[in-house]
Amino acid sequence: MKNTYSKDIKQWAKELGFSYCGISKAEKLEDDARRLEQWLQKGMQAKMNYMENYFDMRVDPTRLVPGARSVITLLLNYYPEIKQNPNSPAIAKYAYGKDYHLVIREKLNDLLRRIKDKIGDTESRGFVDSAPVLERSWAVRSGLGWIGKNGNMITRQSGSFFFIATLITDLALEYDDPFAKDYCGTCTKCIDACPTEAILPSKVVDGSKCISYFTIELKDALLPETLKGQFENWIFGCDTCQDVCPWNRFSSPTKEGSLQALPEILNFTRDDWENLTEEGFKKIFRDSPLKRTKYQGIKRNLTFQYH
């Protein structure tokens, strides 16, 4: 019966708009545990202290869902059909439309409902950046792609502009073969292009140097003056390493309507951003990922970039 369930779940995922679905065995991620521990010991999480929490849960899905036997990994394409005006202050493409947490959470809930209705009661939980889950590792184990030098999960068919969601369940399912090959080869375009040299050899990204960290995660009132002039045009996130990746020439526009770009994201000039009031920000970006850095964060980033 587990074979039938696996095919059903993949079909339901497709019907809900997910781009890919893979399934792997729920087990402790021993190699990832060692790599994560080393990364944390080197302080590459900077002030993202939450990365240090719930270590055991991050590397063992049975700590999140007791009795877990399968990890279902789902990808949702967010590559935009229309790009920003190149003269506009740059926003990472994942933030062009509606907050992906809201979009994917709804899809995961629909998938869980189908599983319950068609298969029966299970102990299952869906996650999208909402718990300590190593999504990219599970994506590789589920046969969806490999981890690139820039730390992103890359697919041969469509590149890396994907959100990753995870569903951990006590259902016994048929497992996909892990993705065994690394197709980055000798290419170092992402390493060479990174404005702050945050991408290190051996597929290590130093979070304490990443533009996305500074423009989104860091809550300090001021950004380090030593990095002045290194952020190119980015005021929220950074796509440089993905934009130069040869595999992203295969990216195709998302079909998810809620991820379509807000007109303001595409067209706001520097003056538009600088003249934006907090009330206007809250109104325009009420369902946007930009809420994460808040109005004050956007203003800080603008000041750092242009003054």
**Closest of 57, 61, 63, 86 to residue 73, by C-alpha:** 61
Q: Which pTM does this prediction carry?
A: 0.90
What is the per-residue pLDDT across 55-87, written as a single tens digit (0 to 9) for each?
566 668 888 888 999 999 999 999 999 999 888
Domain boundaries, the chain: 1-307
pLDDT of residue 47: 57
The residues with which 204 forms a beta bridge, in sequence order, are 200
Helices (H), the chain: 2-15, 30-41, 55-59, 100-118, 135-141, 189-193, 211-212, 240-243, 263-267, 270-275, 278-284, 294-306
User: What is the pLDDT, as a whole number, of residue 101?
Assistant: 93
Give the Cα separation of 117 and 177 in Å (integer). Answer: 28
Would you give the end-to-end CA distance of the chain in angstroms?
A: 63
Per-residue confidence (pLDDT) for residue 1, from 0 to 100: 45
Which residues of the chain are under the pLDDT cut of 50?
1, 33, 51, 54
The pLDDT assigned to 29 comes to: 73
d(C-alpha 155, C-alpha 145), whole Å: 5
What pLDDT score does 127 carry? Answer: 87
CA angle 285, 286, 292 (to 5 degrees): 75
Which is catalytic among the residues 31, 32, 110, 129?
Answer: 129
- Bridge partners, residue 234, by sequence: 90
What is the number of H-type helices and E-type strands within the chain? 12, 10
- Calculate the CA 233 to chain-centre distance: 21
CA distance 133 to 125: 12
Q: Annotated catalytic, 129? A: yes
Q: Three-state DSSP class for 293?
A: coil
Helix (H) or strand (E) holding 100: helix 100-118
Token match 């809620």: residue?
258
The pLDDT score that the predictor gives to residue 202 is 77
C-alpha–C-alpha distance, residues 170 and 133, integer Å: 16
Q: DSSP 3-state assignment of 112? A: helix
Which H/E stretch holds residue 104? Answer: helix 100-118
DSSP-derived pairing of the beta strands 90-91 and 234-236: parallel
For position 87, what pLDDT does the model report?
A: 87
